[in-house]
Amino acid sequence: MQMINKMMTSYGGLPPAALCLTMAEELRDFGTNCHAKRTSRMVELLCRELGLDTEMRGAIVGAALLHDIGKFAVPLDVIQKTAPLTKEEVALLKTHSEKGYQVLAASNDAFLSFAADLAWTHHERHDGTGYPRGLAGDEIPLSARIFSVCDIYDALRQDRPYRRGIPHNKAINIVLVGDGRTSPDHFAPDVLMAFRAVMPKLKSIYDSGT
What's the burial of 169, exposed, middle or buried (CB within 10 Å: 0-12/13-18/19+)? exposed
Mean pLDDT of 52-61: 93
CATH 1.10.3210.10 fits 2-207, yes or no: yes
Domain ranges within the chain, ordered by starting residue:
2-207
Residues 32-55 pLDDT 10s:
558 888 999 999 999 999 999 999
pTM over 0.75: yes
Backbone φ, ψ for residue 123 (5° rounding): -110, 10
Residues 92-104 pLDDT 10s:
999 999 999 999 9
